[in-house]
Structure 1
Amino acid sequence: MFLAPALALFAVFLVVPICYTLWLSLRASRVDSTGFGVRTEKFVGFDNYVSAVSDSAYLHSVLRLLGYGFLVVPIMLGFALLFALLLDSPVIRFGRFSRIAIFLPYAVPGVIATLLWGFIYLPGVSPIREAADTLGLPVPSFLGPHSVLYSVVNIAVWGGIGFNMIIIYTSLRGLPAELQEAARIDGCNELQIAWRIKVPLVLPAVIMTAIFSLISTLQVFNEPQTLVPLTSAISSTWVPLMTIYRDAFVNNDVYTAAAASVVLAAATLVLSLAVLGTLQRRAFGEDR
């Protein structure tokens, strides 16, 4: 009875939507054979899944998402670990201000952050372009077809470093101070302490942030969708969730969209488990 309210909320907001999505993915709307143009919902098995994975726009969006993820996850985690180690170092001053400054971008809603960066990228109002023109320096088209991917990556990294940094920094603060003092007595400098003592001990936190970052990468939607009015380089099928959105709310094909959602969710689960297992084996040995 004590867990009943939590289980009820879990069922209503997670189990029921998942079951409904699975049910929709196996059905489709077809015109009735009576000739009156009446549409009825019919069971079609895995036809929607075949249609989803054979859609060239969906496949291209998946490839683009993989390239986006290969850039975002390592860069974000690398900077998060670096900042956490720097903030945990005794040589850094103004630690509280630095933590707030690094974490603050995460508190900005994704749409607002994308709009801010979007106007920075726009040629007509970009302060970067204006400063570069004043100095006579060349500036790439941030929203052009060859650089828009990196612009979206920059927005995601800027907004996500703070969250991952806090998790790693919290883990660092929980390490025994005696280990670091003993290392200093043995002649280790701060760089050696960070690399040989701190990093191995906070690997569980790094693994957790890697899983979080991977899941958020596979679910990217707000940043490219918000930039659509600002550039023609981002299509309505730029990433998988945008393709699903198009199918569901533009083409009114919720059945194919449901199948594509299930495929994306399954891929997210498989990749997360694969990354978790790989990182655990590398961090803790083959016996884990």
Structure 2
Amino acid sequence: MSSTTIAAPRRRAGAGLRLAPYLFVLPFAVLFVWFLIAPIFVAIGNSLFRETSSGLGFGSANETVFVWFEQYAKALQDAEFLAGFGRVLLYGVVQVPVMIIISAVLALLFDSALVKGKRFFQLAVFLPYAVPGVIAALLWGFLYQPSVSPLVAGLRSIGIPADFLSPGAVLWSIANVSIWSYVGINMIILFSALQSVPRDMYEAAKLDGAGELRIAMSIKIPMIWPAVLLTTLSSIIGTLQLFNEPAVLKTITSNISSDYTPNMAIYAASTTANDPQLASAMAILLGLATFILSVVIMKLTTRRKGVNQA
């Protein structure tokens, strides 16, 4: 009788222990579904409809009509929306490699014995990441605006006709703001990965006569390749979602239109054009493009790593 009484609480305690991990994960799962998964399905649902006006236009005579993929076709026929993809792809081809290379070089320098005062310089490089993107764009917008910029005035005083907001330069001015803002966080990720590399490997390479550059290229970079891939993918995703920097700089130059990037086109469609269904279709297309490009980059980098190891 006593053994039966003891066994029942044990079974209940065992069931509670098995449920405990799920209870801890539950708050995150609920928020993840509510704020990420649910909006995706809502956007997909909205993109399959179109609002039409009926009657003479008096009162609320709008009617929502199921139109299948008409909104997607409309988005793909929007020349400015497609041009926005071209801009961010060109932007990413230059900005992402430059940012990753600068981040990797800084991480390698901080991991070596060449730099003194590492804590100070690490903080100085990371500090721009703590500045909100809108504030960073405002700060750089002041430096770009010819009428008030000391940088433009200084360059012109030595005979360099600088115009950072001209049609041919404004995209790279935006890229400069992004590089300044995000180099620090990427450097921290790569530097943290370098700290996990066994130091014995460096000592063995030095005994074989390898210098710092050879150790960096042959040992450090291959060992932290997953971190390099992580920073590259996150930078690509951020590139396709570019919004804050051009939206802020748009207020000081006419060379940035309201649909300069895909995200800006989505915002303009949902607010200025008052067409949330079209904006939903654009958002789904942008999400698909981001997913496909990320998968392609991951496949290419994984295959390259496999070839190098072979």
TM bin, normalised by shorter chain, reads: over 0.9
Q: For residues 1-33 of structure 1, what are the alpha-carbon distances to aligned partners after superposition, in whole Å with 9 as ceiling and x for unaligned? A: 51332222122111211111110000010123x
Residue aligning to 2:96: 73
**38, 49, 53: which one aligns with 2:72:** 49
Q: Which amino acid aligns with 1:89?
A: S
Amino acid in the other structure paired with 1:146: G
Change (3 A) 1:193 1:287: closer
User: Which residue in 2 is equivalent to 1:269?
Assistant: 291
Structure with max Cα Rg: 2
2:267 is the counterpart of 1:233: no
- CA shift, 1:35, in A, is 5.6
Among 285, 294, 301, the residue aligned to 1:279: 301
Alignment of 1:156-167 (within 5 A): 156-167=178-189
Residue aligned with 1:230, SS? coil
Kept in 2: contact 1:281–1:287 (CA 8 A): no
Give the SS at the match of 2:251: helix
Count of residue correspondences: 286
- 1:184: Cα distance to partner? 0.9
Conserved? CA contact 1:27–1:41, under 8 Å: yes
1:262 is matched by which residue type in structure 2? I
- Counterpart Cα distance in 1 of 2:309 and 2:107: 29
> What residue ranges of structure 2 are gaps of 5+ in the alignment?
1-21
Amino acid at match of 1:60: A
Q: Tell me which of 180, 187, 191 is aligned to 1:169.
A: 191
Of 89, 94, 109, the residue aligned with 2:117 is 94
For structure 1, list consecutive stretches of 5 or more residues without a partner in the other structure: none
Counterpart residue number, 1:19: 41
Helix, strand or coil at the partner of 1:165? helix
1:156 deviates by 0.7
In 2, distance between residues paired with 1:180 and 1:36? 76
Q: Which amino acid aligns with 1:123?
A: P
Taking the TM superposition and a 5 Å limit, the aligned residue runs for 1:121-200 are 121-134=144-157, 136-200=158-222
Which secondary structure does the structure 2 equivalent of 1:42 belong to? strand
Q: Is the 8 A contact 2:156 2:162 kept in 1?
A: no
Q: Distance in 1 between matches of 2:299 and 2:224?
A: 17
CA offset at residue 42 of structure 1? 1.1
Which residue among 140, 146, 153 is the counterpart of 1:117? 140
Q: TM-score, normalised by structure 2?
A: 0.89
Residue 258 (structure 1) aligned with residue 280 (structure 2): yes
**1:21 touches 1:262 (CA, 8 Å); kept in 2?**
yes
Superposed CA RMSD in Å reads 1.6
The equivalent of 2:31 in structure 1 is 9
CA displacement 1:164-201 (0-9 Å, x = unmatched): 11111100011000000111111111111111111111
